[in-house]
Chains A and B, each alone.
Chain A
Amino acid sequence: MPLTDPPAQPLLEARGLRFARNDDPVFGPLDFSVDAGEALLVQGDNGAGKTTLLRVLAGLLRADAGEIDIDGGAAGPARRARAIAYLGHLPGLKADLSVLENLEFLCGLQGRRRGQLPEHALGIVGLAGYEDALARQLSAGQKKRLSLARLWLSPAPLWLLDEPYANLDLEGIELVNRMVQAHLRAGGAALVTTHGAYAAPPVRTRLLAMTRPVAERAA
């Protein structure tokens, strides 16, 4: 697999990132960066703060301390919206709308990659033929594939994937790996959280291991 030369400026850079909930430290301080063309694997046990980290990077939560730079500039809502596509635990799909209607809405909200059609994306994720099925009728794995289709259509270069392999069978896991590979080859980047049990995408990766910080407690 060809390795691209690391570019001069990382796509995402975090310095001294810290987050606490109810004064219990969840993670921090963290320093890391993600370059275009590479994937950062965030590994850790349950409760280590992986999901919280991704939500902080996506802009859904505010860090208690630290800085995040996107494409060299401080991360504000405009930069984030342009650069980041987030795949979280909740699929963000309306149960009463069809597969295609859901995609149409999400693309209308967050943009669509030029030259990519929703029907084409459905074919890639293996949902061809399900265009008019209501999201309510899909299984958990199919809902995940629909989210992946939305991800595929997103114009954002940085993918934040929180447990992307959850709810997927072996074929689905292969699909995620293929998608990440193609995305990275085209110059994008991905940040993937995983327990470590599943196969990692076969691309140039770095590892960020997270452990739950010990809270300052009375002896």
Chain B
Amino acid sequence: MNPLIRWFHKLGSPPYFDRFAARWAPWGYGLGLLVMLWGAYGALFLVPADYQQGDSFRILYIHVPSAWMSMLVFGLMALYAAIALVWRIKLCEILAMACAPIGAGFTLITLVTGSIWGKPMWGTWWDWDPRLTTELILLFLYLGVIGLYNAIDDRRAAARAAGLLAIVGVVLLPVIRYSVIWWNSLHQGQTIRIFGESTMDPSMIQPLVWMLIGTKLWFVGALLARSRADNLRREAGKAWVATLAGGSR
């Protein structure tokens, strides 16, 4: 059998996944933090100020990677959920449910940084900008998945139900996005496109790339750490967990 497939099968065994996650989560966190610090340094000190927005545009270096991650993590969550539903792989259930709080966190950061970024330009903390409004609805979708997962007692049925909701959400997300953009053009005409696809000078892109890489690495660390915790909780009572906790009784 293909060694890669064999490794996937091995990963599905709870004790093996525990060891794997315990080993690699710190790397994800550590490397991610380092790369993000380097990107932040570049964003704060190396990049020249924007001629239009001054220094306040620097928050883009947190806002844009967070926004990307909020969408990416939702897609990943739906993918894990689909695998879990079709092939009934328990590990994918755990991974999918671990994605939800992390994605919700990124969404919250996107909203807060977006609001801070917009304040100098709009004069208010919140303007119903289409992208931020979509992020807000995305946050509700995340909270719905988390809420549904916590509301059902049977952990496996809960993960499958919340996973189905995530899949429905990911299918509707483009529709929601399009509807909000349409709604905005209908009611508010053209607003100042702060978050638009503006062309960036190459000198400004580098820290963004570092931040993009850094957030992904950090996400891997967080996903492995949360999945490990959920895995241990589900397997609590089994012999291997007791030995891990420090001596069997």
Question: Is A in direct contact with B (CB under 8 Å) within the complex?
Answer: yes
| Nearest-neighbor residue (CB-CB) of A64 within chain B | B88
Q: How large is the interface on B (under 10, 10 to 19, 20 to 34, 35 or more residues)?
A: 10 to 19
Question: Do A218 and B234 have beta carbons less than 8 Å apart?
Answer: no
**Complex alpha-carbon distance, A199 and B237, angstroms:** 40
Q: Which residues of A contact B154 (CB under 8 A)?
A: 21-22
- Asked if B241 lies at the interface with its beta carbon under 8 angstroms from chain A, I say yes
Q: Which residues of B contact A23 (CB under 8 A)?
A: 234-235
Q: Which residues of A contact B237 (CB under 8 A)?
A: 215, 217-218
| Nearest-neighbor residue (CB-CB) of A215 within chain B | B237
Q: Which residues of A contact B9 (CB under 8 A)?
A: none
- Asked if A8 lies at the interface with its beta carbon under 8 angstroms from chain B, I say no
> B156 contacts which of A22, A215, A217, A219 (Cβ < 8 Å)?
A22
- Asked if B23 lies at the interface with its beta carbon under 8 angstroms from chain A, I say no
- Asked if A5 lies at the interface with its beta carbon under 8 angstroms from chain B, I say no
Report the tally of A-B residue pairs with Cβ distances under 8 A.
Answer: 24
Q: Report A6-36 residues with CB < 8 Å from chain B CB.
A: 21-23
Most chain A CB within 10 A, of B154, B234, B237, B242, is at: B237
**Complex alpha-carbon distance, A219 and B243, angstroms:** 10
- Asked if B155 lies at the interface with its beta carbon under 8 angstroms from chain A, I say yes
**Complex alpha-carbon distance, A215 and B237, angstroms:** 10
Question: Do A217 and B239 have beta carbons less than 8 Å apart?
Answer: yes
Q: Which residues of B contact A215 (CB under 8 A)?
A: 237
Question: Do B238 and A218 have beta carbons less than 8 Å apart?
Answer: yes
Question: Do A219 and B239 have beta carbons less than 8 Å apart?
Answer: yes
Question: Do A218 and B248 have beta carbons less than 8 Å apart?
Answer: yes
Q: Which residues of A contact B238 (CB under 8 A)?
A: 216-218
Quick one: given A22-B154, A22-B155, are A218 and B239 in contact (CB under 8 Å)?
yes
Question: Do B241 and A218 have beta carbons less than 8 Å apart?
Answer: yes
Q: Report B225-249 residues with CB < 8 Å from chain A CB.
A: 234-235, 237-239, 241-242, 248-249
Question: Do A218 and B155 have beta carbons less than 8 Å apart?
Answer: no
**Complex alpha-carbon distance, A216 and B155, angstroms:** 18
CB distance from B238 to the nearest CB of A (A): 6
> A216 contacts which of B156, B234, B239, B248 (Cβ < 8 Å)?
B239
Question: Do B156 and A218 have beta carbons less than 8 Å apart?
Answer: no
Q: Which residues of B contact A216 (CB under 8 A)?
A: 238-239
| Nearest-neighbor residue (CB-CB) of A20 within chain B | B156
Contact with B along A135-149 (1 / 0, CB 8 A): 000000000000000
Q: Which residues of A contact B248 (CB under 8 A)?
A: 218-219
| Nearest-neighbor residue (CB-CB) of B245 within chain A | A218
CB distance from A65 to the nearest CB of B (A): 11
Q: Which residues of A contact B235 (CB under 8 A)?
A: 23
**Complex alpha-carbon distance, A5 and B153, angstroms:** 48
**Complex alpha-carbon distance, A164 and B226, angstroms:** 47
Q: Report B151-170 residues with CB < 8 Å from chain A CB.
A: 154-156
Q: Report B197-227 residues with CB < 8 Å from chain A CB.
A: none
What 7 A-B pairs come out closest when comparing CB atoms? A218-B242, A218-B239, A219-B248, A217-B237, A218-B248, A22-B154, A22-B155
Q: Which A residues lie at the B interface, using CB under 8 A?
A: 21-23, 215-219
Q: Can you add 9 more A-B contacts, CB < 8 Å, to A21-B154, A215-B237, A218-B248?
A: A22-B154, A22-B155, A217-B237, A217-B239, A218-B238, A218-B241, A218-B249, A219-B242, A219-B248
| 20 examples of A-B residue contacts, CB within 8 angstroms | A21-B154, A22-B154, A22-B155, A22-B156, A22-B234, A23-B234, A215-B237, A216-B238, A216-B239, A217-B237, A217-B238, A218-B237, A218-B238, A218-B239, A218-B242, A218-B248, A219-B239, A219-B242, A219-B248, A219-B249
